[in-house]
């Protein structure tokens, strides 16, 4: 049996967007070489998902070009609608409300996606094939745009998690609800992105698992959550009121180990670690830079014994080879 993949995705975005800054800064770019060095020490290949403002940061562009030149990682796209041109304000203060990309209409949505993708392709002279939406927002219209623009991989789905009560524009619907989405990779259906199908776009959900009695629940317990029956969904929500993310914060190393262990026991073919570039900064969510980097190093040491390194596009190629026939479609 081939070794499963350890996928590392980094949202490369302006400093501390969770604090809703009016002025965007990019100081966190200085932390990424330290992360890259750790990845290389353990044979891992990070995928940097880059927002428009970071694609305009000379320090990051120089760093990203070096990563690509050495085949030491991948550059993908991370689209925040309110930081990416063309700018069409939706609220009195878009930097405060941070609208979801799906809050914009069809034409602005496409223009922003095209602008970011073209910016990245021009800066890095490389095809951009991996995407994550800012604030984890997707809908069928946007997914079709990703396919049209040539993306092969999306990694915006956060299984077991709903963003419906997290507002974007005032009076809007909130974010996407992924509570009953698949938790393993799947090629999306052409017309319904929550369902496996035969399109060319591979969805790679973030590694998130339900917690049961202070431990990661085994797959045999939460597989019922995949069923669409309302009563089953309500029952599993009561059984698993919280979830655990494969996302270091400087204070959750044992949880990360449990997620790796659960993945091994259930024979998953990947785990996906999520980071934001701001997570790595002094003054961010973690206790300190050293705390989070210490946890990352210990996690890498544990994972490297079982998992192999792969970028998102590497993982896509593996899944495509596993198909008996090539994935072809007309968009």
Q: What is the pLDDT of residue 221?
A: 63
| Sign of the Cα pseudo-torsion (253, 255, 259, 261, in order) | positive
The pLDDT, as a whole number, for residue 147 is: 97
CATH number where 112 lies: 3.20.20.370
Asked whether 142 and 325 are in contact (CB, 8 A), the reply is: no
- The H or E element spanning position 186 is strand 186-187
Task: Find, among 255, 269, 257, 262, the residue nearest to 307 by Cα.
Answer: 269
Q: What is the pLDDT of residue 283?
A: 62
Could you give the CA distance from residue 307 to residue 311 in angstroms, rounded to a whole number?
Answer: 13
pLDDT grade, residue 162 (50/70/90)?
Answer: very high
Average pLDDT over residues 268-276: 97
For residue 217, being part of any structural domain is answered with: no
In sequence order, the 6+-apart residues with CB closer than 8 A to the CB of 267 are 1, 4
121 lies in some domain:
yes
CB under 8 Å to 239, separation ≥6 — which residues? 210, 212, 221
CA distances from 46 to 36, 71, 218 (A): 7, 10, 27
Select from 248, 302, 300, 309 the least CA-distant residue to 278: 248
Tell me the C-alpha distance between 194 and 207, whole Å.
Answer: 16
- Tens of pLDDT, residue by residue over 165-222, are 999 999 999 999 999 999 999 999 999 999 999 999 999 999 999 987 677 777 766 6
In a domain, 15, yes or no: yes
* Residue 159 included in any domain: yes
Question: Domain span at residue 89?
Answer: 5-210+245-322
Does the residue 202 lie in any domain? yes
How many domains are there within the chain? 1
């Amino acid at each position: 049996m081939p070794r499963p993949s350890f996928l590392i995705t980094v949202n490369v975005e302006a400093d501390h967007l969770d604090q809703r800054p009016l002025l965007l800064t990019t100081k966190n770019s200085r932390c990424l070489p330290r992360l890259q060095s750790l990845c290389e020490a353990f044979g891992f290949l990070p995928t940097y998902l880059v927002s428009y403002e970071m694609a305009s940061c000379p320090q990051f562009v120089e760093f990203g070009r070096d990563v690509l030149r050495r085949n030491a990682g991948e550059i993908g796209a991370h689209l925040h609608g309110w930081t990416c041109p063309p700018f069409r304000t939706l609220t009195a203060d878009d930097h405060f409300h941070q609208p979801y990309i799906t809050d914009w209409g069809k034409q602005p949505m496409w223009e922003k996606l095209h602008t970011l993708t073209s910016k990245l392709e021009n800066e890095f002279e490389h095809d951009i094939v991996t995407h994550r939406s800012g604030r984890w927002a997707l809908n069928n219209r946007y997914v079709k745009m990703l396919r049209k623009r040539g993306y092969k991989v999306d990694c915006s789905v956060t299984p077991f998690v709903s963003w419906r009560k997290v507002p974007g524009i005032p009076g809007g619907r909130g974010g996407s609800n992924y509570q009953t989405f698949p938790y393993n990779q799947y090629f999306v259906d052409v017309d319904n992105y929550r369902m496996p199908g035969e399109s060319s776009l591979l969805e790679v959900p973030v590694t998130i698992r339900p917690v049961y009695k202070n431990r990661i629940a085994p797959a045999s317990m939460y597989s019922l959550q995949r069923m669409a029956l309302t009563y089953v969904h309500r029952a599993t929500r009561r059984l698993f009121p919280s979830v655990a993310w494969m996302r270091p914060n400087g204070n959750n190393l044992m949880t990360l180990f449990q997620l790796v262990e659960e993945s091994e026991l259930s024979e998953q073919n990947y785990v996906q670690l999520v980071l934001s570039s701001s997570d790595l900064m002094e003054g961010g969510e973690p206790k300190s830079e050293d705390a989070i980097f210490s946890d990352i190093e210990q996690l890498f040491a544990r994972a490297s014994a079982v998992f192999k390194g792969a970028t998102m596009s590497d993982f896509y190629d593996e899944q495509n080879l596993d198909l008996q026939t090539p994935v072809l479609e007309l968009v």
